Structure 1
Amino acid sequence: MLYHRAEGPASAPPLLLGPSLGTSTTLWDAVAPELSISHRVVRWDLPGHGRSPDDLIGPGATVADLAALVLALADSLGIERFAYAGVSLGGAVGLHLAVHHPERVTSLAVICSSAHFGGSKPWEERAALVRREGLGPVAATADQRWFTPGFTVPALVEDHRTTDPDAYAACCDAIAAFDIREDLPSITVPTLLIAGREDPATPPAHLREIADAVPGSSLVEIAGASHLAPAQCPEAVLTALRAQLTGGAKRGMEVRRQVLGDAHVDRAQARQSPFTARFQDFISRYAWGEIWTDPTLARRERSMITMTALVAHGHYDELAMHVRAALRNGLTPEEIGAVLLQTAVYCGVPAANSAFAVAQRVLAEETGDAPAGA
């Protein structure tokens, strides 16, 4: 059986994390503890890597063989269906599972990986080198293949040096034979692709190729990240995975459009730039995907609270937007006027006066009538 490390509540939704070639569960040290707050996280080691036995695969191994070992691990833990995220070879295993065992996978994140790895010859040559000379020559170049200049994770480099050469070579055989491009359009599970912009092993173009072929998939490119993005840029990877696992960004965008209207959201999206992209994602995922979707309060009530808070802080441009939202959420002009009258008591008459002026203009545009309290 593959060595594994489980974290998080046993009753939480399961999430399996796959490693890249030459690494171990250590690859996820900066990410897994945070994910285990909401998920039953299971990290696993490739054969001959970390603490997994080295005789689980042999020469001529395939990604299908590795995927079978992952399914056997899940079965042994009583996990029928699971979310999956994997880096490089671990990502290839995830793609195989999504194509050939979609009934087992609830969502997929493919990180710094590919639907093919540049043809078989380089991997056949690497396998032959490792079988002949061991891992020393390959491990010596790990930093430049895995990280940007000046960055390293010594524990991962040590993983590379201490991996079993025969098992490593067998994994190279699996990569050499892997090409799932023709099957990508058949993937139906929610799929996220994460690329490191500085990744020389699987450049962003490889992830774009998958994103273009998998229906409904999404792509995130992480600036400053090389091949082992979870180790080098853990916060960025966490942000993307949380959005994928909770569906917050997608659900939040739906609610945002329902409340604010397509025209407003389309304008905001059109103005989005690389500088503002993370902020827009934060708004959709957190404000709209978590707060506005909380069923404790109805949207009518949330509109009343929001308008009051905006008046209190003098955010009148935002108030205009949320007066329109209040109408969509079922408030009448009279009820909006009553909310603003309440703000005169607790936020001050000058603030309420400005708020009434804003609301009167908006309501005249939207309904042709002014609020009763104006």
Structure 2
Amino acid sequence: MTLLNHRAEGPASAPPLLLGPSLGTSYALWDGVAPELSITHRVVRWDLPGHGGSAAGLIRAGASVGDLAGRVLALADSLGIERFTYAGVSLGGAVGLHLAVHHPQRLSSLAVICSSAHFNGSRPWEERAALVRREGLAGLAENAGARWFAGDFTVPRLVRDHRDADPEAYAACCDALAAFDLRERLPEITVPTLLVAGREDPATPPAHLREIADAVPGATLVELPGASHLAPAQCPEAVLTALRAHFGQDARRGMAVRREVLGDAHVDRAQAQQTPFTARFQDFMSRYAWGEIWTDPTLSHRERSMITLTALVAHGHYDELAMHVRAARRNGLSPEEIGAVLLQTAVYCGVPAANSAFATAQRVLAEEAGTS
């Protein structure tokens, strides 16, 4: 399968973050933001079909935003990325909204920048698509700066990307925008959502982002003074600050769940023993293991405890097993249920492993009983 052109940055083990572009641009839109985000994330930025390095044949006339979202999921699958954080600008933001509504299990967090749940109806986009199919992109590219940026600011690379885009692919993206309207589905979005609006944006003014923020439960809205439609290019520091604050919620949420499951005493000891050498690993655990996996509502904490006990027995991690026996009790498992889980491990992990596990669990349960 031909994939969207993309660029990956950051540690392969870091939490994945996909960045989507605006119509007429390439992944260069994120040049001022992606390198900083790649310090803490595995950043993958992609090009729309017919833009940057992506093949024009990846989209056809009459395409939908759902078609583009499918291309993004195919890219993620090819990279071995199951669940990811997503941020997108304009059409890229619409892709993020579609993913949040139709594929919520794939997203851990969402940021929608200078975008909308609808793009002022179908007619303007149908007219633009017809114009581009008839005359090409040279005329639109001449006025790109006025549509994209406030004041005299411009980014020649992005204007050049606009001029060099494939006209038919660009027009098909216009078709997708013409058909896009998710307003009725916004209340279904459950992932943590940030909306970023440019105060000077004529294409998707702040009212469009407010509309999303008012409809999506728990959403946060940030308005950037002096920013127009391509805020990551014009105000990279402001966008970076907003994204870092939003993505940092995974770590804060993870720390809360970590304390809930393991107890304050254990977490406090771990934090006290943290060194500069182990800090990034501890942050990784808070964000990924606790902030993404343990917070996923698909399984209850009880169910996760049973799975975790089994995995620890299978690999002989008995110190960790002791910690998670305590966690299992905190998550509501009775001693009898813990015993049943360990008995199951005797069948599938081996009797010697289960024997050691029962000894560990018996010690912990006796200690718990003695302090109750």
Q: TM class, shorter-chain normalised?
A: 0.5 to 0.7
Letter in 1 for 2:119: F
Q: Secondary structure at the match of 2:272?
A: coil
C-alpha separation in 1, matches of 2:68 and 2:208: 21
Among 81, 91, 94, the residue aligned to 2:93: 91
Among 63, 70, 78, the residue aligned to 1:68: 70
Q: How many residues align?
A: 260
| Equivalent residue number for residue 110 of structure 2 | 108
Structure 1 position 250, deviation (Å): 6.8
| Equivalent residue number for residue 148 of structure 2 | 146
C-alpha separation in 1, matches of 2:204 and 2:168: 24
Q: Secondary structure at the match of 2:185?
A: helix
C-alpha separation in 2, matches of 1:119 and 1:227: 18
Q: Label 1:40 to 1:176 Cα distance change in 2 as closer, same or farther (>3 A).
A: same
What is the Cα-based RMSD across aligned positions, in Å? 1.9
C-alpha separation in 1, matches of 2:65 and 2:96: 10
| Equivalent residue number for residue 219 of structure 2 | 217
| Equivalent residue number for residue 6 of structure 1 | 8
- Check whether the contact 1:243–1:249 (CA below 8 A) recurs between aligned residues: no
Letter in 1 for 2:212: I
Q: Label 1:33 to 1:122 Cα distance change in 2 as closer, same or farther (>3 A).
A: same
Q: Secondary structure at the match of 1:192?
A: strand
With structure 1 as the length reference, what TM-score do the two structures score? 0.67
Give aligned-pair identity as a percent: 77
C-alpha separation in 1, matches of 2:237 and 2:145: 21
| Equivalent residue number for residue 313 of structure 2 | none
| Equivalent residue number for residue 54 of structure 1 | 56
Which entry has the higher C-alpha Rg, 1 or 2? 1
| Equivalent residue number for residue 180 of structure 1 | 182
C-alpha separation in 1, matches of 2:39 and 2:92: 22
Structure 1 position 297, deviation (Å): 7.9
C-alpha separation in 2, matches of 1:183 and 1:32: 30
| Equivalent residue number for residue 167 of structure 1 | 169
Q: Secondary structure at the match of 2:81?
A: coil
C-alpha separation in 2, matches of 1:220 and 1:250: 20
| Equivalent residue number for residue 271 of structure 2 | 295
C-alpha separation in 2, matches of 1:209 and 1:295: 41
Structure 1 position 140, deviation (Å): 1.2
C-alpha separation in 1, matches of 2:13 and 2:246: 20
Deviations 1:27-73 (A, max 9, x none): 00000000000000000000000000000011000000000000000
Q: Label 1:132 to 1:9 Cα distance change in 2 as closer, same or farther (>3 A).
A: same
- Check whether the contact 1:18–1:90 (CA below 8 A) recurs between aligned residues: yes
Structure 1 position 173, deviation (Å): 0.1
Q: Secondary structure at the match of 2:57?
A: coil
Letter in 1 for 2:41: H
| Equivalent residue number for residue 340 of structure 2 | none
Name structure 1 gaps, 5 residues minimum.
Answer: 255-291, 299-374
